[in-house]
Amino acid sequence: MEALPSLAKTLLAAFDRGGFAALSSGARSMALVWGLCCLLISGSVAAEPQDLSFASLREILLHDQPTSIAATLQLISQQFPSYLAHHTLAYHSISLHASSAANPRAIVFGRQAEFIISFNGDPAQRGFGALEVMEFSPERGYAFREISFLREAKNGADLIDGDEIELKTADLLISKPNPSICTGCHGIAGPRPIWEPFAIWPGLYGSVDDRLYRYVFDQQGRAQPGDQTSVPDLDGIDFEKDGYAKYLINRQRHPRYSLLPLPLGLDRVAFESKPAPDGRRRPNLALTRLFSIQAAKLLARDAGAGPNGPANLLALAAVECVRGNSSEAVPAALMPIIEKATAWRDRFKLEIAGMTRRDIDRMQDYFERNLRLGTDDSELARQAASQPYLLATALDRIGMNIRNYAFNANRVASLQDGANGLFALNELLRDALQRQWRWDHPPTCAEIYAAL
């Protein structure tokens, strides 16, 4: 009732008091119209609630007092019906949650990945009684928490230091943001999600381009020797395909997994052999895109901070124009950055590979060689300017480090995912310049170049 207009409240209160007959005919008509409108409005809001947030999850935990993760998921599915449908599954994980083929680590991210929960499914697994959660804010960045259900096995409550506890009841423990067990992996200064570059995600179902492949990775997510094939074979023997089949069987009666709606296209033993070009049926790509947009928002936020913010925003916007329109002539003011980008490339690859604990060159070689997604030399040369090395070099020059952000920041065309052919960071930087310059439109790349 609080959300209804005050006039509607007054009129509806007349119904409650039995005073409807006392109203004039005009007022009765108005009451009926307002009542109908308010019911329609409230019904539409209930049909499409916002994604789950930490605040709404906390309210569920304290108001409904579920004592298990399954009961919590049941309440989430009732109050946020579409949230659980957006998820991916890790059969091998280095997180606090152990995982297996039949009992993978579920990573549920909703429509926008601004609040993520994760859990596994076997009482014998590490972390079985704990929810790991992550919340994103464009202003504050990422906040990680551990939520332990004290009646469940292996809940990890003993891993939370006393001064890191935000709330504790007889059945529940909620950590403060970014306790040490989270920052140990995600970082202390500016913690961030750990996610692999597009389009190879070792350890997740659909590890190569959201498809189940043979021999690309073993059970631990390690690349196989180079003489092995990675051609998709949905009928052959394959750990990932067979493992997903085990999960589907386990899911049928599982108190947790059965509450996860199957994403479109994943209701079969194997993923689609040819992913849809619009990104449907591709949960790993969907999460990669959302993380990429978040990385772009944080890059734009940090670049615009401090006394040099306006100049930094302009320089980065110009670089992103070059990356998004590599066929255009490069402004002379950007040539020092362009020239250094090639030298930065090899160091950047080594640093990123070390950060993700993967040999990215080797994985990318598998991806390009076996899936034949490579292009001829001229095309590769044309695309060189769009690679992250150019952005990394530009950030270096203004005292920022691309390692502090998601590696995939260059993998999304725009905030609308392809609306204008520019990268998401380009769009955000141009919006920031528009606000600074107080223009009535975001500056074009030509206007940005002219202002250098």
> If you write DSSP's letter for every residue of 228-240 in order, what string do you get?
S-----TTS--HH
CA dist 138 and 297 (Å) reads: 6
What end-to-end distance do the CA atoms of the chain give, in Å?
54
Task: Respond yes or no on whether the N-terminal peptide bond of residue 13 is cis (omega within 30° of 0).
Answer: no
Encode pLDDT of 29-78 as tens digits: 554 455 545 444 444 444 556 889 999 999 999 999 999 999 999 999 99
Angle between the N-to-C axes of helices 283-303 and 424-437, in degrees from 0 to 180, rounded to the nearest 10: 30
For residue 7, pLDDT over 70 is answered with no
Which residue has tokens 């520019």?
Answer: 422
Residues in the chain: 452
Which residue has tokens 């709404």?
Answer: 56
Mean pLDDT for all residues in the chain? 74
CA dist 164 and 217 (Å) reads: 38
CA dist 443 and 452 (Å) reads: 13
What the block records as the tokens of 225 is 């020797």
Burial class (CB in 10 A: 0-12, 13-18, 19+), 349: middle
Q: What pLDDT is stored for residue 327 in this prediction? A: 60
| Cα-trace Rg, the chain | 25
Encode pLDDT of 304-316 as tens digits: 998 999 999 998 9
Pairing verdict, β 172-175 and 165-168? antiparallel
Which pTM was predicted? 0.76
Encode pLDDT of 328-385 as tens digits: 677 888 877 777 766 655 555 555 444 444 444 444 444 444 333 333 333 433 444 4
Q: What pLDDT is stored for residue 423 in this prediction? A: 58
Dihedral sign for Cα 184, 102, 88, 240, please.
positive
Residue type, 60: I
Q: How confident is the model at residue 148 (pLDDT cuts 50, 70, 90)?
A: very high
The larger pLDDT score, comparing residue 391 to residue 108, is at 108
CA dist 36 and 293 (Å) reads: 40
Look at residues 183, 98, 96, 118 and name the one whose alpha carbon lies nearest to residue 144. 183
Burial class (CB in 10 A: 0-12, 13-18, 19+), 351: middle
Q: What is the DSSP letter of 329?
A: P
Q: What pLDDT is stored for residue 213 in this prediction? A: 57
Q: What is the DSSP letter of 147?
A: E
Encode pLDDT of 255-289 as tens digits: 999 999 875 545 444 454 454 554 556 788 888 88
For residue 417, pLDDT over 80 is answered with no
For residue 141, pLDDT over 90 is answered with yes
| Contact assessment for residue 326 and residue 386, using Cβ atoms and an 8 Å cutoff | yes
Beta bridge pairs of residue 135: 115, 143
- Residue 230 sits at φ, ψ, to 5 deg, of -130, 25
Burial class (CB in 10 A: 0-12, 13-18, 19+), 170: exposed
